[in-house]
Structure 1
């Protein structure tokens, strides 16, 4: 059986191949420090493999793992000269929990494992400090009960208060040993009588119980929510590290601190940090702060350890990791121990500044600077954030669907959002779920909140595209449209009440919060220059409006990879003309309505072409089923019937005939265009006329890219491309100007992948639409997936929601096949991606490997994609040099 428990002591450590994955950050770090011959307390780590095996056994530690842990304890006894449950010199342990990445919600550190009714007596005699020993025992009992039995800490506080009142102790006078004994007796009686558990008196059973409870904390609600937010696999797991206790809370030569290798404000090489000197003041209860010493002043007269040695250790750690570091340490009875080190924690702005400065100083190169930045954290530089305070009134939590924070009045309709925007009043659009005809309201509201939907729902996708904060899947909320109320945990908010949402955390907060708007510094721009020099793939944006296009250009987008024309039809009075076209009973009627839409579409495209200034603009032809444009509800049906001059009953019947059982797999995309070629002809005319007009204005040719959606058969593309070419010839003859253009398709169906070689023979480009491709590969609606994907993650069935990050083994394998087939048929074909995963760093790494030419993402994710694409190119280049791998490229 594979090894599951790894030991460490100063000068040596057992380390598996991937230490961070197997031992967690804390265990791996202690092993590294031990290997560097630095002073660490000896101990052992139970690996994530042990966790996984225990989770399959309902959280119980198996007999074989118990034996392995027992062997590690015996090794530790030999190393320390102490004995677990020893009659003299008892061994006490501290247990710390960690995963590969820092994660809130895991079990807190448990101290003093090994104390019981007998060892506490031995321990007190050895230390010559009975009060400290019994105080430590009481603390262990309480922390054990909280973790293992799920006890309420308030119960222990009540017991202590009652005992103080009864016995008349406390205040300025320290507790005596008899008083500690009496309090401990009451605590143990409470556990047995009220909770039904006898506190274990065998140290090894205490240890096993703590390990099992620590394992279970991985699936607690806070840890689970954090994993979903940050895309951490349910099966990643945690490790627990146990080490010999350091008694840093007694005597004048004890305390705890954190040291930094550099002054983070200036970047200078200087030992900084703080140390909490516990002192010997028995009037203080343990847990209160002692005297704080500033390490930067070199106060070695008051520091109870060797400050020069600490400085040397910190320098060695910085040299080993090649980065500014911070070190957690303790001093127990004058002896210095290091407990953890890490790259110095810093905000993203500080991280960028430090990385850029180190390049300027010649300490690292541009590639290394890029690799030190977490692309996802760049969101903090691009969106408003809440100034966090302890008194935030959090009503509920949903899924963090689009980053940033926003405050405004509650509105329940897009129309009301428009009204408030006209009055200059900010709003939060609250809906059960958004629909395409809500888009005009979403553009003017400050943020969007939905009761249903996941992080790839309509609300989430649109909000990310337009840079609006969004929280989805807030299932604890209830909306009453008739009463215009929002109910959360029994509290009722009304339309017009203030609400704040945080799209980075999913928090829904009553009232208006103070927001901070980050600014992009010169160092940020410099980092983007590093990224642009390193990356191979281009980065485009998904945009339909001038505001989105301008924002994307400001963030460095190199064109538009997806312009969804259907979004444009919901703007202003266009939906009326669109409905007239849909409801027309003849081709002549449809063409008349389309003639009204033509100048509007042309104007839209002219502005986008001008903003992109000669860069590629990919325009997708009308994609959704027609029923999405039709009125909903009796009131809207009546209003539309009056506007169109047709009987309400006739309109209702027409709407009924257009409804589909499964519209996302129905009459949409290229199928719609083949049924009604006049639609594609009108859109193509608008594109070509706009390209000529924009080119004349700018004095530079515009080369539009026309994308046909949902193609699965080559003959579908043949049919529609012929119409597009025919319109191009007509427009060029009318305007007496030639226009270069490309016709391609969105690859979003498995059949299109399988027949990619034949489709590529007539397509100038492919854009992989991973949203629909994932839906059709899995047979799962992305709007409904949130209802059960978290369950799949929790049970380890999937590592991450495939609608957020590319499913490499399934969807990714199909994309690889499509790339290979397309390039074999047409080596010069341009290949890109325009789905949600186009802004996901993990997905971008995969797209680099398969050799796509560009990714396209929402405007506010463009900087993330630029850095992620650079990192992917750097890592692929380094890996390919070592393995001889070659990237598929056109």
Structure 2
């Protein structure tokens, strides 16, 4: 009798994939494969597919022996590639375990770094690197991330222990902790882990790995990820891949670091290399906004060769993907590694400017540029700005980083739950946090603006706000926020929950009280893009005009060539019957039956 074996392939090494395989490998895995195959310095690794995630869910949260065995085969290949051994007491291979959905969901699912460390292998890492401080720093980070992701021990409990130690030692920065300090912190972290989970911190690296893979699969269904998918219309059935990658270390001194860079400015679309980095840090430090990073241009002064190499990588990736790229990188002792690339989140104005510029540069056709713009992005362009007269009389409180443009005014709330409740009462809410985390996603979605005291232009708050079209000011270190007492202080004022605040996300300015908002003037390449739309398509403008005033507003915006109009007015391309959505009942002459007495105008006339 023939033996029946599992013929399904659930694991792909990076050199086996390509960018076209994002539904199977996830966006991150597909792009890691693509970058590996075009010769970029990507740390080696492999991807466990979205099909494995579906299999895991079908088996009621059980990772099958077949998938585990296939994963182990690739882990052995990774050991051969790196010359290190997973869990070894003398030269350990450490890995990252990262999620990767087919569509970008920044910060919504889980990541674990430095996996493979235990009480013995950390000594091997000290010996192999001759760097006790960074080795123990990796171990304490791993305990925190593993405890948070796998056993849901709130990360703030670990952060509080870190803060307490820094206060005791009179340190300001995490980087001031010595190797001995970090050993003490590891002891504290392990005791915290035992207290919260009722079990010792696992010392078997293979147990750590299996638990981490299943935790990442589980994170596909966590509340923040589910909310994000609902907000961005992402199919719940897609699942996430898991990327296993050999670690590189940005926390090994001042010739090491980590950062995030964009090939163009994600707020304005300007064709200028943009980003931030931190020396002696790991990637989560930048994303979480715990430390305020340096502008990427400063890297040219500290590491000119690495900066030039990063510019070359950025240019190659944008040309390869024909779109603005968001690049995550690590520098280990002067050597550059690329950890991720993806099409960057951008504001609506930036999206239009980038699309038109790419046409001017000969990289896209006009039709391709039009298809790059989502109609929801056009709606963002109608966000209001401050009345200039009222702005001159306003009281300025502080200035932070202009992380996501637009103007907004509302009442301040200090946590996501209170922000949601206030928004549901009909209040306009400004979410004020020291730094946001993925758990804040629903509060961010319900707010008109976001303000953080820490973090930079590539922090979680900034990236998510730009994707949502929300006004955001980040890294405002001139204010002090006490989230427990629900108090915000600047040099001149103290505000409590419910007080009014106004933010300008284009300048980073923060003002006391309410400032009236006025209609925004649309500029940049908008009119040029609209002229291309008129060349390519016949358009129908539909306006719900219940009064002469509504009709005047509709006509005013139509003359401006706008797609998304106030009072429910929209511009839609005329499509064949087979392409129309189910609720679109236009007849042969463009008449509509889905709203009473619509006003229509053919774009050609």
Q: Confirm or deny a common fold (TM above 0.5).
A: yes
Larger radius of gyration: 1
Residue 139 to residue 106, structure 1, CA distance change in 2 (3 Å): same
How far apart are residue 150 of structure 1 and its match? 0.8
Once the two structures are superposed, residues 487-529 of structure 1 have per-residue CA deviations (whole angstroms, 9 ceiling, x without a partner) of xxxxxxxxxx9999xxxxxxxxxx9687574332263233222
Other-structure match for 1:14:
17
Is the 2:11–2:47 contact (alpha carbons within 8 Å) kept by the matching residues of 1? yes
Residue 512 to residue 392, structure 1, CA distance change in 2 (3 Å): farther
TM-score, normalising length: structure 1: 0.47
Tell me, in whole angstroms, the C-alpha distance in 2 between the residues paired with 1:260 and 1:398.
Answer: 35
Other-structure match for 1:30:
32
Other-structure match for 2:186:
184
Other-structure match for 2:420:
397
Other-structure match for 1:313:
313
How far apart are residue 345 of structure 1 and its match? 4.0
Is the 2:94–2:114 contact (alpha carbons within 8 Å) kept by the matching residues of 1? yes
Once the two structures are superposed, residues 149-206 of structure 1 have per-residue CA deviations (whole angstroms, 9 ceiling, x without a partner) of 11123433455567789xx756389555555444323432332344213322121221
Is the 1:253–1:305 contact (alpha carbons within 8 Å) kept by the matching residues of 2? no
Tell me, in whole angstroms, the C-alpha distance in 1 between the residues paired with 2:339 and 2:589.
Answer: 52
Q: Once superposed, what is the RMSD of the aligned Cα atoms?
A: 4.4
Is the 1:835–1:857 contact (alpha carbons within 8 Å) kept by the matching residues of 2? no
Q: Which of 115, 118, 128 pairs up with 1:116? A: 118
Other-structure match for 1:508:
none
Give 1:231-246 correspondences, 5 Å limit.
Answer: 231-246=233-248
Other-structure match for 2:8:
2
Other-structure match for 2:348:
348
Give 1:713-862 correspondences, 5 Å limit.
Answer: 830=589, 834-835=593-594
How far apart are residue 147 of structure 1 and its match? 0.9
Residue 835 to residue 70, structure 1, CA distance change in 2 (3 Å): farther
Give 1:247-646 correspondences, 5 Å limit.
Answer: 247-262=249-264, 271-278=273-280, 289=291, 292=294, 294-295=296-297, 299=300, 302-303=302-303, 306-360=306-360, 362-384=362-384, 387=408, 391-392=412-413, 395=418, 397=420, 517-521=519-523, 523-536=525-538, 538-556=540-558
Is the 2:265–2:273 contact (alpha carbons within 8 Å) kept by the matching residues of 1? yes
Is the 1:277–1:293 contact (alpha carbons within 8 Å) kept by the matching residues of 2? no
Once the two structures are superposed, residues 599-648 of structure 1 have per-residue CA deviations (whole angstroms, 9 ceiling, x without a partner) of xxxxxxxxxxxxxxxxxxxxxxxxxxxxxxxxxxxxxxxxxxxxxxxxxx
Unaligned runs of 5+ in 1: 280-285, 409-446, 448-496, 501-510, 558-765, 771-804, 820-827, 837-855, 867-890
Other-structure match for 2:567:
none
How far apart are residue 374 of structure 1 and its match? 1.9
Other-structure match for 2:150:
148
Is the 2:100–2:242 contact (alpha carbons within 8 Å) kept by the matching residues of 1? yes
How far apart are residue 113 of structure 1 and its match? 0.2
What SS class does the counterpart of residue 397 from structure 1 fall into?
helix
What SS class does the counterpart of residue 246 from structure 1 fall into?
coil
How far apart are residue 96 of structure 1 and its match? 2.0
How far apart are residue 548 of structure 1 and its match? 3.5
Higher share in helix? 1
TM-score, normalising length: structure 2: 0.67
Tell me, in whole angstroms, the C-alpha distance in 2 between the residues paired with 1:517 and 1:186.
Answer: 54
Tell me, in whole angstroms, the C-alpha distance in 1 between the residues paired with 2:523 and 2:158.
Answer: 50
1:54 aligned onto 2:56: yes
Once the two structures are superposed, residues 680-700 of structure 1 have per-residue CA deviations (whole angstroms, 9 ceiling, x without a partner) of xxxxxxxxxxxxxxxxxxxxx
Residue 335 to residue 52, structure 1, CA distance change in 2 (3 Å): same
Is the 2:119–2:203 contact (alpha carbons within 8 Å) kept by the matching residues of 1? yes
Is the 1:541–1:857 contact (alpha carbons within 8 Å) kept by the matching residues of 2? no
Once the two structures are superposed, residues 84-104 of structure 1 have per-residue CA deviations (whole angstroms, 9 ceiling, x without a partner) of 112332100112222222225
How far apart are residue 538 of structure 1 and its match? 3.6
How far apart are residue 245 of structure 1 and its match? 0.5
Unaligned runs of 5+ in 2: 1-6, 282-287, 385-405, 430-447, 449-497, 502-512, 560-575
Other-structure match for 2:394:
none
Once the two structures are superposed, residues 120-159 of structure 1 have per-residue CA deviations (whole angstroms, 9 ceiling, x without a partner) of 1111111112232122111111111111111123433455
Tell me, in whole angstroms, the C-alpha distance in 2 between the residues paired with 1:289 and 1:108.
Answer: 20
How far apart are residue 221 of structure 1 and its match? 2.0
Tell me, in whole angstroms, the C-alpha distance in 1 between the residues paired with 2:275 and 2:112.
Answer: 25
Is the 1:13–1:32 contact (alpha carbons within 8 Å) kept by the matching residues of 2? no
Once the two structures are superposed, residues 839-859 of structure 1 have per-residue CA deviations (whole angstroms, 9 ceiling, x without a partner) of xxxxxxxxxxxxxxxxx9999
Higher normalized contact order (CA 8 Å, seq sep 6+, divided by chain length) = 2
How far apart are residue 36 of structure 1 and its match? 1.0
Other-structure match for 2:71:
69
Tell me, in whole angstroms, the C-alpha distance in 2 between the residues paired with 1:399 and 1:376.
Answer: 25
What SS class does the counterpart of residue 532 from structure 2 fall into?
helix
Aligned residues: 473
Tell me, in whole angstroms, the C-alpha distance in 2 between the residues paired with 1:92 and 1:252.
Answer: 21
Is the 2:328–2:338 contact (alpha carbons within 8 Å) kept by the matching residues of 1? yes
What SS class does the counterpart of residue 89 from structure 2 fall into?
coil
Is the 1:767–1:832 contact (alpha carbons within 8 Å) kept by the matching residues of 2? no
